[in-house]
Structure 1
Amino acid sequence: MITAIVRYRLPAHIDRAACRDHFETIAPGFQSVQGLLSKHFIWSERGVAGGVYQWASLADAEAFYSGPWRDGIIQRYGTAPEIEFFTVFAKTDNEAGTVTVIEPAPAGATSVAD
């Protein structure tokens, strides 16, 4: 599993309400994206917006970000997004009451806490 954090600076005319409204409009379209497990649409008072994406694989993420999505971000906001990828080792889901180990440690490995 891969987490991607995507950030881009919004033009001054796009405030919190406009960003929220746009995200609400486009959110359903992400349900059909190949390999996308979830997306959190994010905004900050510093005028930065983006998303925190959970992907099944790095290949799925890279394919999505290199396609029309990237061109749309540049066209809409006038800047290329910053994208940082992270490998997910484990996930705690308090809503579901689950802990999932995505990439277990090899047998016999010791942790930092040992």
Structure 2
Amino acid sequence: MIGVLVTFTQAEKFDRATLTKIADELRGPFEGMPGLRFKSFMLDEDSGQARNFYVWDDEEKGRSFFTEEIVDMVTGIYGAPPEVEFFEIVGHVDNSGA
């Protein structure tokens, strides 16, 4: 599995209402997306950054999603270019079924 952390930083801090609206509007295409296990839309209230976290089945699927076209699209949506970081997931705890 691979984790991807995408961070958006703009001059003015992101607020909860703006990011909730973005998450609601963008949720649909990710539901049932092959290879994507999880996607979280997040707000770092201290820094005012928008962050998205993805968990992909494998590295190839995770890296291939972030095309130039996707980066351009999300830059327009968030008003700032993303910083994309990839991480190998070496362990995972899932309590959602408990």
Fold in common (TM above 0.5): yes
- The TM-score normalised by the length of structure 2 is 0.82
1:59 partnered with 2:49:
no
CA RMSD for the aligned pairs? 2.0
Partner of 2:17: 17
Identify the structure with bigger relative contact order (alpha carbons < 8 Å, sequence gap 6+). Answer: 2
Unaligned runs of 5+ residues in structure 1 are 98-114
Unaligned runs of 5+ residues in structure 2 are none
Do 2:8 and 2:83's aligned partners in 1 also have CA atoms closer than 8 Å? yes
Do 1:11 and 1:77's aligned partners in 2 also have CA atoms closer than 8 Å? no
CA distance in 1, matches of 2:42, 2:13: 17
- The TM-score normalised by the length of structure 1 is 0.72
1:76 partner SS? helix
CA distance in 2, matches of 1:7, 1:56: 21
CA distance in 2, matches of 1:38, 1:13: 25
Partner of 1:106: none
1:90 partner SS? coil
1:8 partnered with 2:3:
no
